[in-house]
Structure 1
């Protein structure tokens, strides 16, 4: 992924990135029944992202790329119609909610109780996301890695 595409919201996935994701889905299908299920779940996430408004779609694409790179053990799947990422037990760890889902003014990245983010008696589990930047990417990588640790 080029530095520009990872920091510019309007770029979204490149043609090469889209092709690589389709190839990965085909590889999973070729692995048999379990692989086909993973491929279908990945495709459902990509389809859901493709249906979003352009601003939300660009953010969701960056979140997807960042989460899958930072935590390759998480599996993409939809959850309540949102792109989400589950641990090997199938439990959701992190999800993306586009602003258009409930007509919010911002998109969010949220973490479920399976995420290892507990910090005392009060800690954030949802983050507003309005624009992608290197600082946002760095923070999300830190959160995701902590969540799966």
Structure 2
């Protein structure tokens, strides 16, 4: 890991560590899920949020927000695909969550895989 990657990772971990509980634990869990799902992604701060990109100098693909609700979002950079089914041409781009159970963890991993592929 390059020193820039290490610095960026440190900044993401610091950002998460400053969050109040129980959000801090949930966000740390989501960070771990993202890094396990796609270990080649590079954590970094993107517009003040923890984010994940293909390289330290490339745009973020996925962000985590800690606002009124916790949020996992796909940035505008990856290719979007219509959802199909009942959602037709709508393109999912953000998901809110308050906790992470087994199903949510799997779904987060699937979302992350979808933006990297």
Range class of TM-score, shorter chain: 0.7 to 0.9
1:30-82 per-residue CA deviation (whole Å, 9 max, x = no partner) reads xxxxx111111000000000000112111110111011111112100011211
Which aligned runs of 4 or more in structure 1 are off by greater than 4 angstroms?
A: none
The structure with the largest alpha-carbon Rg is: 1
Question: Does the alignment pair 1:139 with 2:88?
Answer: no
Q: Counting strand residues as a fraction of each chain, which structure ranks higher?
A: 2
| Runs of 5+ consecutive residues of structure 1 not aligned to the other structure | 1-27, 29-34
1:16-95 equivalent positions in 2, closer than 5 A? 28=1, 35-88=2-55, 90-95=58-63
SS at match of 1:54: coil
SS at match of 1:83: strand
TM-score, normalised with respect to structure 1: 0.70
| Runs of 5+ consecutive residues of structure 2 not aligned to the other structure | 84-88
Superposed displacement of residue 115, structure 1: 2.7
Give the CA RMSD over aligned residues.
Answer: 1.4
Superposed displacement of residue 147, structure 1: 1.1
Cα distance in 2 between the residues matched to 1:63 and 1:116? 22
TM-score, normalised with respect to structure 2: 0.87
